[in-house]
Amino acid sequence: MTSKVVVTGIGAVTPLGATVDATWEAILAGTSGVHTMDNDWSEKYGLAVDFAAQVDPQVVEDNLKRVQAKRLDPSSQFALISAREAMADAGLEETDPERTAVSWATGIGGVWTLLDAWDTLQEEGPRRVMPLTVPMLMPNGPAAAIGMEFKARAGVQTLVSACASSTESLGHAYDVLASGRADVIIAGGSEAAIHPITLAAFNSMQALSRRTDSPETASRPYDVDRDGFVMGEGAGALILETEDHAKARGAKIYAEVASWGISNDAYHITGGEPEGKHALAAMQQALDAGDLSASEIKHVNAHATSTPVGDIPESLAISELLGDNVGETLVSATKSMTGHLLGGTGAVEAILTVKALQTRTAPPTINIDEVDPKVVGINIVRDTPAELPSGDIAAITNSFGFGGHNAVVAFRSV
């Protein structure tokens, strides 16, 4: 490895706001992005869950021309808007196309495009199915949209591993830069899959919170009364650069990507291994590869989705990883505010981790009335933000996905 990898730009479209700044401000204020949905289908289909964490439709109207928006699935719309913010933030108006790459992610792909086309086929026949249907629904659509916009010719890839997707895409981006195949990479992920089908299906597997009378408190990681996750949507984009390239152009640097870790439970298609053994292996790998010791990790942005079974193994793994230092490390579960952005969640949480290191502020975890007694040891930031220590510190962000995927990215402060 010739150069370190650093973060020089960030962009986000989330249920809490159209930008990183708007999102971060809402996070620090402990705002819930979860609300009862205003649509014409929750009632029509009699959905048990009629709430979610949605992106304000105005964000797309404000940021994309109508003609461009029409040719992109919402997952690509969010992707492009977040990538533009990140590139502008990085001050990268122009890059060398042959040294610029994209490592993007989605968990589900263009589900709205696919099912709208199915409706058209059923109701109006094959002739009315639009010619752009396939490029819009394909999972690599968001990556391709970003790649074309910024002339990224050093490879445009999409990683798909359910809710671990965009943490894996950041890890992959690190590898691309570390192996010298590019100088700049636009990394992240997006999701726009709040659809009657996904809500019905996740609800059938009893994965979703059914707290319809109080959606704002439905996402409550670690709380003893948590009853499932809350669907979210949006995108997060990070500009990763080799340190040499960033320094040569005098770029501001948010944090260093120390390294990353990946493992698989190979255990159950949806349920994580109950002791968190393989999640721990991924975390340990991220530390070891990044030459970090447990005592340097002062902050963890946990995957913690608010499902009854999911939050426990991760907390066990974090305790095991940190050992005697566990009390010194502030753990935040930001899905309590953003909901679960599925394939976009890792990138958004990586951005929040980077912001935490930069501002030395760990985000709150809202909606915890009483910590589940089975969650032992970890020091959860509750209700209001908490200060992180000064000096050289590090943080990790975890993501786990259906299919047994575990991915962890470690960041170092600069």
Contact residues for other proteins (CB under 8 A)?
65-67, 70, 124, 127-128, 130-132
Helix, strand, or coil here: 187?
Answer: strand
Told to judge if 340 belongs to the known catalytic residues of this protein, a careful annotator would answer yes
When the beta carbons of 77 and 307 are compared against other proteins, the nearer one is 77
Pairing of strands 255-264, 405-413: antiparallel
- From the number of C-beta atoms within 10 Å of its C-beta (0-12, 13-18, 19+), residue 65 rates as exposed
When the beta carbons of 44 and 65 are compared against other proteins, the nearer one is 65
Told to judge if 163 belongs to the known catalytic residues of this protein, a careful annotator would answer yes
Q: How far is the CB of 245 from other proteins (least distance, A)?
A: 35
Told to judge if 303 belongs to the known catalytic residues of this protein, a careful annotator would answer yes
| Both tokens assigned to 335 | 């899905």
Q: How far is the CB of 155 from other proteins (least distance, A)?
A: 25
Q: Catalytic one among 163, 172, 278, 299?
A: 163
Q: How far is the CB of 356 from other proteins (least distance, A)?
A: 41
When the beta carbons of 124 and 369 are compared against other proteins, the nearer one is 124
| H or E segment and range at residue 203 | helix 196-204
- Residue 240's nearest CA partner among 168, 174, 141 is 174
Q: Catalytic one among 172, 278, 299, 340?
A: 340
Q: Catalytic one among 172, 245, 299, 303?
A: 303
When the beta carbons of 130 and 248 are compared against other proteins, the nearer one is 130
Round to whole Å and give the CA distance between 369 and 383: 10
Residue pair 79/146 in contact (Cβ under 8 Å)? The answer is: yes
Beta bridge partners, 400, equal 406
Residue pair 300/352 in contact (Cβ under 8 Å)? The answer is: no
When the beta carbons of 128 and 181 are compared against other proteins, the nearer one is 128
Residue pair 65/48 in contact (Cβ under 8 Å)? The answer is: no
Q: How far is the CB of 128 from other proteins (least distance, A)?
A: 6
Q: How far is the CB of 394 from other proteins (least distance, A)?
A: 47
Length of the chain as a residue count = 414
Helix residue ranges, H only, 343-402: 345-359
Round to whole Å and give the CA distance between 58 and 259: 37
Active site residues: 163, 303, 340
